[in-house]
């Protein structure tokens, strides 16, 4: 997720989750942020079934890529891996790094509209209505389950990244005004896109 500048559509039903095959990750150093319209961004990600050093290495690399692009959240599909995992940090402080594996949003309440960007759709911003209070359950990199409450920016990040895990993008929710504003950026991304073989 890119930085939020400041519509929850009715909460969508959870997408059908698929189990990931045996985990075989590429060299983390070779991972890069994939850009729209890469097909991996529209897939429903599979659940992580194995917790190993690969998950540690993957999350570390994702934080590196997120910070390099000045983002506050990044989902595994955004680095070409169709796995239910995301990393985030709303403050930029190292102590606030959070890795969420197989996350589920249990409760959502409140609502606020703000513009959101996305590291996989550079140059595009969309006004999104999100819940302001979220209860999330997930696992850490070692497979330990935890539950957290997020509000405001934290809650928005979690919802944005969960959309990525379910194959949804901010541009899927564009208003007519958003379509006009983002037309050029989206056109450029489509023209510059070069398909590569998926890493998953």
Q: Which residues are catalytic?
A: 161
**Three-state DSSP state, 159:** helix
- Written as six digits, the tokens of 50 are 């194995």
The C-alpha atoms of residue 145 and residue 104 are separated, in whole angstroms, by 11
The C-alpha atoms of residue 115 and residue 129 are separated, in whole angstroms, by 9
Contacts for 113 with CB less than 8 Å, ≥ 6 apart: 7, 127, 128, 129, 130
CA dist 7 → 149, 170, 175 (Å): 21, 11, 9
Judged on CB neighbours under 10 Å (0-12, 13-18, 19+), 19 is: exposed
Q: Say whether the peptide bond before residue 37 is cis (omega within 30 degrees of 0).
A: yes
Contacts for 128 with CB less than 8 Å, ≥ 6 apart: 7, 113, 114, 115, 116, 156, 160, 170, 173
């Amino acid at each position: 997720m890119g930085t939020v500048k400041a519509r929850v559509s009715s909460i969508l039903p959870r997408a059908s989750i698929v189990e990931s095959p045996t985990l075989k990750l590429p060299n983390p150093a070779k991972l890069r942020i994939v850009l729209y319209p890469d097909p991996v961004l529209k897939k429903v990600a599979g659940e992580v079934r194995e917790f190993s050093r690969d998950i540690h290495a993957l999350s570390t690399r994702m934080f590196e890529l997120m910070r390099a692009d000045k983002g506050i959240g990044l989902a595994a599909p955004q680095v070409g891996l169709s796995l239910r995992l995301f990393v985030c940090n709303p403050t930029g402080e190292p102590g606030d790094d959070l890795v969420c594996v197989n996350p589920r949003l249990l409760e959502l309440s409140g609502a606020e509209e703000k513009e959101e960007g996305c590291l996989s759709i550079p140059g595009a911003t969309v006004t999104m209505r999100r819940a302001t209070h979220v209860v999330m359950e997930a696992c850490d990199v070692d497979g330990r389950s935890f539950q957290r409450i997020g509000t405001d920016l934290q809650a928005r990040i979690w919802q944005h990244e969960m959309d990525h895990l379910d194959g949804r993008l901010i541009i899927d929710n564009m208003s007519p005004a958003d379509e006009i504003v983002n037309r050029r950026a989206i056109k450029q991304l489509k023209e510059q896109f070069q398909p590569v073989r998926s890493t998953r």
